[in-house]
């Protein structure tokens, strides 16, 4: 099969990927690969908004300090300053594209979320990600120079060192293999530059707010290609995921607490408002503190969930600010104007990822990582609310700018995918069983509270799964389920290895064996060589 050749190959169609594509389209031939539909990534699920200094009483230094505080001493100062200073321009760019943010008296309405000292969250009611993605998808579908490949899943990156060429030169990414899941064949994509914008790895856990696409594809592929990863131990558990047997992965936005929502125990154990017992900021404490407090109270009292109560706000206010949450809860018989919302913590955001610099460049020439796939240094040990969409846009622009100033030739001919020695899988149940086993023990052993023994158990189970999956991968035709499981297991190993190396408690990583923070905060960096 002839290869597809482009100047830039972007893998992922969330805010990071589509922003980069729109920035590059005027000057480059761009391909965007996404393993499902264009709008199926995590960006469209974001409810809260985008943090940006726009109010007169706010400042860049305030936003920087809030980010550094939430990050528990591990944020990179240069990256934080870089992102915060570019936030207003990012908002203006989205407005120019036609994103209709919520306004009040002719100005953007700014809300406040946990960890923020000021109101600075630009939002579109309580469905910001969906509003932004809708506009970007509309633009990208009619933008010349951009070719879209939906239902194409990354199999592996192609690098010069993997090909055995230019071994005396730095490793360079020259393309990727991708499975066309509708045609059931692996295609070859050659590109001068490759951008990984594949999101995080929330599906490695049993309970998550992430979509099914969040399987760590870019992180695992970059690791296999020879790129470093960092801070994978810092998995952010969102404190408030709707607790209902039929409500799959539905998030109750941080903004509900920002607008006065209170966390309480169930009535049968007193209905006590417990967050003031854990932190002077109460419900407005950073996510790691709130999630641990909920986990503590649930275990202490033996309850399945806690309750988030916003019913003291007027109905008109709730309808204006939280129409999506209000409607979704009502589907399950929960009237948030009268009833408290049952919530539990769930895996939400991968703060670590592929090591990338201020231009989004990785260790491998021609390979960029942006958004949740990357470790930019912005989030440190805990991401500040509403900095994630912001990071996507800032680094999409940075990567696009770098690509425009750097010439990477497109390889004339790359080897086709060789599946001549494999057969169709006859035991698909093995994949589904391993998938469930992985997510269950990661939740049990590598969750909100960790111990050395739990991490050892997880590492042992991961080693067994990896051996089984690698044998499966070597002998059978690749499928999307197999590729996702392979990526999840590799990502799980990186999470556990990083957690084992961090012998302290900091931010999102809490260890009973090392309950105190060390005096010197250092990132955990893993190298594949």
Tens digits of residue pLDDT in 60-107? 999 999 999 999 999 999 999 999 999 999 999 999 999 999 998 888
4-233+351-404 folds as FAD/NAD(P)-binding domain (3.50.50)
Supply the DSSP string of 249-317, one letter for each residue: T-B--HHHHHTT-EEE--GGGT--B-GGGT-TTGGGS-HHHHHHHHHHHHHHHT-S-EEEE-TTS-HHH
Q: Looking at residues 46-62, what average pLDDT do you find?
A: 90
pLDDT at 426: 63
Mind listing the pLDDT tens digit for each residue in 416-450? Answer: 998 776 767 666 777 888 989 999 899 889 999 99
CATH architecture of 239-345: Alpha-Beta Complex (3.90)
Angle between helices 480-501 and 428-445 (to 10 degrees): 20
List 187, 257, 287, 493, catalytic entry: 287
Is residue 15 very low, low, confident or very high in pLDDT (cuts 50, 70, 90)? very high
pLDDT in tens, 134-193: 999 999 999 999 999 999 999 999 999 999 888 889 999 999 999 999 999 999 999 999
CA 246 to chain centre: 23
Burial of 453 (0-12, 13-18, 19+ CB in 10 A): exposed
Alpha-carbon gap, residue 408 to 254, rounded angstroms:
42
- Residue 287 among the catalytic residues: yes
What pLDDT, on the 0 to 100 scale, is given for residue 2? 66
Does residue 256 surpass a pLDDT of 60? yes
Q: Is the pLDDT of residue 1 over 60?
A: no
Query: H-helix or E-strand containing 262?
Result: strand 262-264
pLDDT confidence band for 47 (50 / 70 / 90): low
Q: Which residue has the higher pLDDT, 45 or 133?
A: 133
- Provide mean pLDDT across the span 27-56: 85
The domain ranges of the chain are: 4-233+351-404, 239-345, 428-507
Do 241 and 345 contact (CB within 8 A), yes or no? yes
Question: Rounded CA gap, 463 and 493, in Å?
Answer: 8
- The pLDDT score that the predictor gives to residue 196 is 98
Neighbouring residues of 260: CB distance < 8 A, sequence distance ≥ 6: 310, 312, 313
Q: What is the CATH number of domain 428-507?
A: 1.20.58.100
């Amino acid at each position: 099969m002839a290869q597809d050749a482009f100047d830039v190959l972007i893998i992922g169609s969330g805010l990071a990927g589509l922003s980069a594509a729109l920035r590059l389209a005027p000057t480059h031939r761009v391909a965007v690969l996404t393993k499902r539909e264009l709008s199926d990534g995590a960006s469209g699920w974001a409810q809260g908004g985008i943090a940006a200094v726009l109010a007169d009483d706010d400042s860049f230094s305030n936003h920087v300090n809030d980010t550094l505080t939430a990050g528990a001493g591990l944020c990179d100062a240069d990256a934080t300053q870089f992102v915060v200073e570019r936030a207003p321009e990012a908002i203006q760019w989205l407005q120019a594209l036609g994103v209709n943010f919520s306004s009040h008296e002719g100005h953007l309405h700014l809300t406040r979320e946990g960890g923020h000292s000021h109101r600075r969250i630009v939002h579109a009611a309580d469905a910001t990600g969906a509003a932004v993605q809708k506009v970007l998808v509309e633009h990208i579908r009619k933008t010349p120079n951009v070719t879209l490949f939906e239902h194409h899943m990354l199999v592996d990156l192609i690098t010069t060192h993997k090909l055995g060429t230019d071994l005396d030169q730095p490793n360079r990414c020259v393309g990727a293999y991708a499975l066309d899941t509708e045609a059931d064949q692996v295609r070859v994509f050659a590109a001068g530059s490759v951008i990984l914008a594949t999101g995080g790895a929330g599906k490695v856990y049993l309970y998550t707010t992430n979509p099914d696409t969040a399987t760590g594809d870019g992180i695992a592929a970059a690791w296999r290609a020879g790129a470093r990863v960092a801070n994978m131990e810092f998995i952010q558990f969102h404190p408030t995921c709707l607790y209902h047997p039929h409500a799959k992965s539905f998030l109750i936005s941080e903004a509900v607490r920002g607008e006065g929502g209170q966390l309480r125990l169930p009535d049968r154990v007193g209905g006590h408002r417990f967050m003031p017992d854990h932190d002077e900021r109460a419900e407005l404490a950073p996510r790691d503190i709130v999630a641990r407090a909920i986990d503590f109270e649930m275990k202490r009292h033996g309850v399945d969930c806690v309750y988030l109560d916003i019913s003291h706000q007027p109905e008109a206010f709730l309808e204006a600010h939280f129409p999506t949450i209000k409607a979704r809860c009502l589907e399950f018989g929960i009237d948030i104007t009268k009833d408290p919302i049952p919530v539990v913590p769930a895996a939400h955001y991968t703060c670590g990822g592929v090591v990338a610099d201020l231009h989004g460049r990785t260790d491998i020439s021609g390979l960029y990582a942006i958004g949740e796939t990357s470790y930019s240094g912005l989030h440190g040990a805990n991401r500040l609310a509403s900095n994630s969409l912001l990071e996507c846009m800032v680094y999409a622009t940075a990567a696009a700018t770098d690509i425009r100033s750097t010439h990477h030739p497109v390889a004339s001919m790359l080897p086709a995918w060789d599946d001549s020695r494999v057969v169709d899988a006859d035991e698909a149940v093995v994949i589904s069983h391993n998938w469930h086993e992985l997510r269950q023990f990661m939740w049990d052993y590598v969750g909100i509270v960790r111990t050395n023994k739990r991490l050892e158990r997880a590492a042992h189970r991961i080693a067994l799964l990896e051996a089984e999956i690698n044998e499966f991968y070597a002998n059978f035709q690749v499928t999307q389920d197999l590729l996702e499981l392979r990526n999840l297991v590799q990502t799980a190993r990186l999470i556990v290895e990083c957690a084992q190396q961090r012998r302290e408690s900091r931010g999102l990583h809490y260890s009973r064996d090392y309950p105190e923070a060390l005096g010197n905060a250092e990132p955990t960096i893993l190298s594949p060589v």
